[in-house]
Structure 1
Amino acid sequence: MEQPPVTQPRGHRGPHPAQRIGVAVHQVRGRHRQHIGFPAPMLNAAGNWYESNNGGRLMIIKDASQRLAPRLLADSHTGYQARCERDPRARTGEGLWQASEIYTPIEAWYALGRPTIAINANFFDVRGQQGGSWKTTGCSSPLGAYVDNTRGLGRTNAAVTGTLPYAGKQGLSGGDERWMALSTMILPVKGAPFVVPPRDDADFDAATPVVTGLLDKGTRFVAVAGIGLLAPGDTGQLNDPGPSAARTAIAYVRDRDEMYVFQGGSYTPDQIQDLFRGLGSDTAVLLDGGGSSAIVLRRDTGGMWAGAGSPRGSCDTMAVLCDSRERAQPAWLAFN
């Protein structure tokens, strides 16, 4: 694993943490997940290495462009997934359908068909609804692009928003009406992931031409959206210092053809950007975090909490290893 020249952190002895994590990654030997059992290497845009030991889990999918099999918990608007469409309370003040049912981590894992890995995905709409809130109606919608074209559901968003990429609002809001554009990550089935960044904070529709083109070609892929961390030609410092919270994020390293999934810990967005930069990525997106950050690993596929001092999951069962605040939410991403 190639690394830039490294400078030992002050007071540090032994291999640099970036070198240690490189060794750990390549010792996985066919597995696709590994707990960070030592300080995580962080590299900021100025080229300075540092380390943080605030917990979290780093999953590695090797040979991603040959093996990647993603899927989303997409809304079919039929059967049990039609409940929110029939609920007149599940509308925002502007009348936007909140058509996506929310699921706890274990519910999402079952609904996704018991995948190898499931994580929370997009931020979701927390604005008030005509019947109260997403917590009282059990309905919301993912923010930004959210598309699954792996199982014939690639055009279902059109029934709700009249668009192909978006199941709800196109940008990120903290519950008010101030919106910020999001970056989209495209995850093809057996293909190399790539990021579609907005030109600026007001470029809310960057995903449409890309998603439409992929759908028209019949490409099997999923699209998720979050805060852009890294994109080719755009690897400058995010300058988002906080707050520190549990984080969920995904990244791709083209040189090694490895997909990274990070979940948990207590980090700022800048630190997650620095983690992926230190791992050699220029393709990374920060998904929802805090109380939404969640992961479920299927035990019978060799799942483990590995690494020194690895924490016990908060929602483990006989079937899965699970860690979350158990918040129900509408957007879930799975890998097999």
Structure 2
Amino acid sequence: MLAQAIATTRGSYLVYNFGGGHPMPLLNAGGHWYEMNNGGHLMIIKNASQRLSPHLLVDTHTGDQARCEHNPGARTGEGLWQASEIYPPLKAWQRMGRPTIAVNANFFDVRGQKGGSWRSTGCSSPLGAYVDNTRGQGRANQAVTGTVAYAGKQGLSGGNELWSSLTTMILPVGGAPYVLRPKSRQDYDLATPVIEDLLNKNARFVAVAGIGLLSPGNTGQLHDGGPSAARTALAYAKQKDEMYIFQGGNYTPDNIQDLFRGLGSDTAILLDGGGSSAIVLRRDTGGMWAGAGSPKGSCDTRQVLCDSHERALPSWLAFN
């Protein structure tokens, strides 16, 4: 059903809603197909390498985006500046210029701060590479971390000091997305030389980071059963030139890997999920709805479908 809906869509992009007789088709690494009925939204952008226009919510460190920079309590115990203001979904969408699609992006730093926590200060930082060079702000991170690639720590932790490396996805404007997959749990800085090179060439691109699901030559089963939760994830299928953005539902990381494997992708990452998983979708931009109808979200307005737990976050990714 999903393949048929994608094939017959005339619109510029398709939103397929799983649930209610429209199950998610999944393919594990052993070649076994299965189905799940746990909901969620899948956005499909066709001819992606010609049409992709991604943007991030960039911290300019000026005006009302200098609030965290001026808060001495917005620092971790090691003194790392938590310079990124956090925004709930609709505010983030407005801040990014009301794009067609907005989703939450990177995991973020949840360690304690001198002034309390990210919730009390309203300040945090994305984990892993987070760069937007589509509008001349590609070096915004340098003011905070002295690096071009990172607005905060390079790796992922659950609020402690145990870190693991993240996979970076590069989304070129009008090009095919690709991933930089670390060689080990400690291979933290894989993204810097690639991002430096892109900036020096003045390439227009966005970089985000998450947990690697699929990369060329590395499509074996993840074996990350970790909890069923709402998920946000990105994938690209080269043969079909289709970009996939998944949000919502109740799935394990392996389920999301299996969804993208079934769609023919070998380039995919998992972004932050659970209470962070959020989407804002404009209703008036020529997208087509399929699957279980036009869904209702938790924060809908007349202009947008909005589904989230309303968590304010420092990193947001948009597509036009």
Interval of TM-score (by shorter of Structure 1 and Structure 2): over 0.9
Residues 31-72 of structure 1, C-alpha deviation per residue, up to 9 Å, x if partnerless?
313223411111111111111110000000110010000000
For residues 14-93 of structure 1, the aligned pairs below 5 Å read 20-37=1-18, 38-93=22-77
Distance 1:321 1:273 in 2: 25
Q: Which amino acid aligns with 1:86?
A: H
Question: What is aligned with 1:16?
Answer: none
Normalising to structure 1: TM-score of the pair? Answer: 0.93
Q: State the Cα RMSD in Å.
A: 1.1
Query: CA offsets, 1:204-235, max 9 Å, x none?
Result: 00001111110010000000000000000000
**Separation in 2, partners of 1:319, 1:36:** 19
Give distance in 2, aligned partners of 1:56 and 1:156. Answer: 33
- Contact 1:185 1:194 (C-alpha < 8 Å) held by counterparts: yes
Q: Distance in 1 between matches of 2:99 and 2:198?
A: 24
Q: 1:128 to 1:40 in 2, by over 3 A?
A: same
Q: Deviation digits for residues 102-138 of structure 1, max 9, x if unmatched?
A: 0000000000000000000000000000000000000
Deviation for aligned residue 1:305 = 5.4
Contact 1:296 1:323 in 2 (8 A): yes
Q: 25-34 or 56-65, which moves further after superposition?
A: 25-34
Contact 2:2 2:16 in 1 (8 A): no
Deviates more, 1:31-40 or 1:123-132: 31-40
Q: Indicate if the aligned counterparts of 2:56 and 2:206 stay in contact, CA closer than 8 A.
A: yes
CA contact (8 A) 1:28 1:34 kept: no
CA distance in 1, matches of 2:121, 2:314: 12
Q: Do the aligned partners of 2:5 and 2:290 also contact (CA within 8 Å) in 1? A: no
Tell me, yes or no, if structure 1 residue 161 matches structure 2 residue 142.
no
Structure 2 distance, partners of 1:172, 1:312, is 32
Hey, what does 1:123 align to over in structure 2? 107
Give structure 2 stretches of 5+ with no counterpart: none
Residue type of the partner of 1:59?
Answer: M
Q: For residues 61-210 of structure 1, what are the structure 2 equivalents within 5 Å?
A: 61-210=45-194
Query: With CA pairs under 8 Å and 6+ residues apart, which has the higher RCO, 1 or 2?
Result: 2
* AA at the equivalent of 1:144: G
User: Which residue is equivalent to 2:252?
Assistant: 268
2:224 corresponding residue in structure 1: 240
C-alpha deviation, 1:320, in angstroms: 1.0
After TM superposition, give the deviation of residue 308 of structure 1 in Å: 2.3
1:26 maps to a residue whose letter is A
Q: Please, what TM-score do these two structures have when normalized by structure 2? A: 0.97
Given that residues 126 and 133 in structure 1 are in contact (C-alpha distance below 8 angstroms), is that contact kept between their aligned partners in structure 2?
Answer: yes
Contact 2:13 2:286 in 1 (8 A): no
1-structure distance, mates of 2:304, 2:293: 19
State whether residues 40 and 275 of structure 1, in contact with CA within 8 Å, keep that contact through their aligned partners in structure 2.
yes
Q: Quote how far apart the aligned CAs of 1:142 are.
A: 0.2
Q: Does 1:281 pair with 2:272?
A: no
What is the identity, as a one-letter code, of the residue corresponding to 2:305?
A: L
Q: Which runs of 5+ in 1 are unaligned?
A: 1-19
Q: How many residue pairs were aligned?
A: 317
8 Å Cα contact 2:17/2:293 also seen in 1: no
Q: Distance in 1 between matches of 2:264 and 2:288?
A: 25
Is 2:233–2:269's contact at 8 Å kept on the other side of the alignment?
yes
Equivalent-residue separation in structure 1 for 2:288 and 2:66 (angstroms) = 36
For 1:211 and 1:168, the matched residues in 2 are separated by 16
- 1:302 Cα deviation from its structure 2 partner: 3.6
Distance 1:195 1:61 in 2: 18
Q: Distance in 1 between matches of 2:225 and 2:99?
A: 34
**Cα distance, 1:310 vs. partner?**
5.0
CA distance in 1 between partners of 2:17 and 2:283 (Å): 19
